[in-house]
Structure 1
């Protein structure tokens, strides 16, 4: 992978560093004053140590939040501009105007979506977030995503120590854990700052990061995004509001979806394994008198995790599910706004490329949890949902979300026509119980198999009776009936096992 996964990058950028201020050596370049670099590192370390007792988990999330907010403020260019962009001192009229624009766009988008999908509105409120709001509101979900991999990496360092070293270290092992939590917190904070400065909505990267039933748009980031387009800002805002509202409809009314997405990411993270044999080689590259050697050694790739077959399977499931979500949103939003917004097709293609090629947001996520969060099959999924909707109607298309077993698979993305043909003319209604239908099919198959076995056994007993006489034939017939009963029992058992 192009970026080291979460916890594998050692660098701790200066939270107070401002863009374009690299001449002082704060960027850690080779040409900077080594004494000044050492002073900055010690200053950062002191700040981190002051936060050591604030978190006992594998990641110091208090430190992550602090670093993220400091970076977002510093990158605004000036303190007054930073405060306005963070929502601290903006005039109440200005904030109210932004909230009203977001709410109006969301209201219009919801009305149009009602005609394009049977899923009702999923958000009970639509809000305008600053980058600061995004960091604070999404941090609980990031904690759930990052804890498994951070725990794996932390334990790998401890397990790599010889047993005598562990005994000698004693309480120092606890300090090592705190230092690891602070290092992870520092990396997470910088990553969240980067993400917070570019995401457009709460569901921009395809995961339900924000609170449930809350649609959120980031007007400041949307304004920057619009600068590169030749479309009116109001048009872009409505289009993005429709995408956010469509995501929220899925997350609110497909009960299994939110849990399945997050659980698959967790499953991938928990499968991370580290080749601790590389630690000895890693230690040999570190010069204690040269702080830069530490960062160079950590970024050398010796400590990168190994991808397991289980992780590959989890990644395939995640990519398919993300593609199905993004493909459905793409089709539904196109149906809802296509004839109403003149630039809808151009905006649709722009967002498709932004999600499929993987922008800075996806690259940062790869750094955080070790995988690339890109719906690589989004166009194929979009084509499949369009085909199903055209051939069988919106109701059938949207009711496929009622149970994960009804959803298209990775193979179906390769052969969408076959999937549409299998649906036939059956309309999947809201009152259909997918489990009951599955069991009904299995019972029918079991009964059909049992009837075939019974018929074959009966023919066999009749043939035996003809050759051995009437008395023997009668006895053979009774025996054949017993055999049929055994076959039925065995068939039922096999059916239960399959089920």
Structure 2
């Protein structure tokens, strides 16, 4: 019996996901073609700026709608969370397992439905090796219209960010396996019967909107906390690197990049109260902080020792930043680059 009813998760995400902006068939076709062109152009700019050389074939580009984005993520989650089902099934009875599987399916689908209306692009690494680059066309169109920015400039700007993630995983062959191994270790530390009441209390705090508490915080064991710290370091590095690259490449190829960046940052910060609550509850706030902290870390390291010196960060898992080094870039430089 699967831990999560993935078919139910897929159907729930499709049913609850928001509708996209109004476009004609010809407009939709043009957007898809333009995003593909932007991804291809972005690859050249990212390679020149980062000096990272892909060691694996470039992952495919898929321009998708919100429903397809959710389905791609369900497929990836099904792959990476399979070991968790094997671990927990012996501890859960048939009836309880069936109920919990349905509940988890609805929860996963609801979360993906929410995110499907927010994500502009993603490098999905779980479903296959080395991964797949996803660009969510309706969200890109919706945001560029809301911000009132030049569509071509905005699409290239978004593509540079996501292509940077593809470059990271194709230029650093060990990175995907290491990332997936950490996810598996997080899964292996799951103890379904441990600290039930303590976790229930934390989940209540998350539901109440208590600062610094998300559902992810509430549901993790102490062992998982150690793994999550390492995962946080990886994700903060990768997001920060992508932010630095998109801002570094932008001025030379995107005429309106300064306006786009200013408008986009205002959009990130200006969430309504319900949006802010959902961000805290689901841990999305952590993602937003990763952009800021990661960008500051990467920019400072590059400023200190240059791009070639920074690229030593991808030499091995041991050269990745530690949690305390994210707020002290010089500590990483002293430990690794020196």
Decide which of 132, 135, 141 is 1:217's aligned counterpart.
135
Give the deviation of 1:111 after TM superposition.
2.3
Give the Cα–Cα distance (whole angstroms) in 2 for the partners of residues 372 and 271 of structure 1. 24
How many residues are aligned here?
A: 321
Q: Where does residue 237 of structure 1 map in the other structure?
A: 155
Q: For residues 241 and 305 of structure 1, do their structure 2 counterparts lie closer, same or farther at Cα, with a shift above 3 Å needed? A: closer
Q: Which SS does the other structure have where 2:61 is aligned?
A: strand
Deviations 1:385-404 (A, max 9, x none): 22333343322322330211
Q: Which SS does the other structure have where 1:107 is aligned?
A: helix
CA contact (8 A) 2:239 2:290 kept: no
CA contact (8 A) 1:145 1:266 kept: yes
Q: Which SS does the other structure have where 1:216 is aligned?
A: strand
Decide which of 385, 407, 420 is 2:320's aligned counterpart.
407
Q: Where does residue 180 of structure 1 map in the other structure?
A: 100
Q: For residues 237 and 378 of structure 1, do their structure 2 counterparts lie closer, same or farther at Cα, with a shift above 3 Å needed? A: closer
Give the Cα–Cα distance (whole angstroms) in 2 for the partners of residues 210 and 227 of structure 1. 31
Q: Where does residue 212 of structure 2 map in the other structure?
A: none
Matched, 1:335 2:255: no
Q: For residues 352 and 141 of structure 1, do their structure 2 counterparts lie closer, same or farther at Cα, with a shift above 3 Å needed? A: farther
Give the Cα–Cα distance (whole angstroms) in 1 for the partners of residues 233 and 240 of structure 2. 10
Decide which of 191, 216, 223 is 2:111's aligned counterpart.
191
CA contact (8 A) 1:319 1:373 kept: no
Matched, 1:326 2:239: yes
Give the Cα–Cα distance (whole angstroms) in 2 for the partners of residues 61 and 364 of structure 1. 24
Deviations 1:298-344 (A, max 9, x none): x89xx996653322222221211111111111122222123332432
Decide which of 42, 45, 50 is 1:117's aligned counterpart.
50
Q: Where does residue 268 of structure 1 map in the other structure?
A: 186
CA contact (8 A) 2:12 2:109 kept: yes
Q: Where does residue 107 of structure 1 map in the other structure?
A: 40
Q: Where does residue 211 of structure 2 map in the other structure?
A: none
1:24-423 superposed matches below 5 A: 56-72=1-17, 75-76=18-19, 91=25, 93-120=26-53, 123-144=58-79, 146=81, 158=92, 173-203=93-123, 208=125, 211=128, 212-273=130-191, 274=193, 307-348=220-261, 367=282, 374=287, 376=289, 378-421=291-334
CA contact (8 A) 2:3 2:84 kept: no
Q: Which SS does the other structure have where 1:114 is aligned?
A: helix
Give the Cα–Cα distance (whole angstroms) in 1 for the partners of residues 132 and 276 of structure 2. 21
Give the deviation of 1:249 after TM superposition.
0.5
Give the Cα–Cα distance (whole angstroms) in 2 for the partners of residues 128 and 407 of structure 1. 31
Deviations 1:326-369 (A, max 9, x none): 111112222212333243245446666877999969957965xx
Give the Cα–Cα distance (whole angstroms) in 2 for the partners of residues 191 and 221 of structure 1. 16
Q: TM-score, normalised by structure 1?
A: 0.54
Give the Cα–Cα distance (whole angstroms) in 2 for the partners of residues 357 and 406 of structure 1. 36
Give the Cα–Cα distance (whole angstroms) in 2 for the partners of residues 71 and 377 of structure 1. 28
Give the deviation of 1:380 after TM superposition.
3.9
Give the Cα–Cα distance (whole angstroms) in 2 for the partners of residues 134 and 182 of structure 1. 21
Q: For residues 174 and 61 of structure 1, do their structure 2 counterparts lie closer, same or farther at Cα, with a shift above 3 Å needed? A: same
Structure 2 portions without partners, runs of 5+: 209-214
Q: Which SS does the other structure have where 2:50 is aligned?
A: coil
Q: For residues 387 and 264 of structure 1, do their structure 2 counterparts lie closer, same or farther at Cα, with a shift above 3 Å needed? A: same
Give the deviation of 1:237 after TM superposition.
0.7
Give the deviation of 1:228 after TM superposition.
3.0
Give the deviation of 1:248 after TM superposition.
0.4
Q: For residues 175 and 383 of structure 1, do their structure 2 counterparts lie closer, same or farther at Cα, with a shift above 3 Å needed? A: closer
Deviations 1:150-207 (A, max 9, x none): 7788777x5xxxxxxxxxxxxxx4233222211211222222222222211123xxx6
CA contact (8 A) 2:80 2:126 kept: no
Deviations 1:274-298 (A, max 9, x none): 557759x9xxxxxxxxxxxxxx9xx
Q: Larger radius of gyration, structure 1 or 2?
A: 1
Q: Which has the higher contact order (CA 8 A, sep 6+)?
A: 2
More helix by share: 2
Give the Cα–Cα distance (whole angstroms) in 2 for the partners of residues 366 and 264 of structure 1. 23
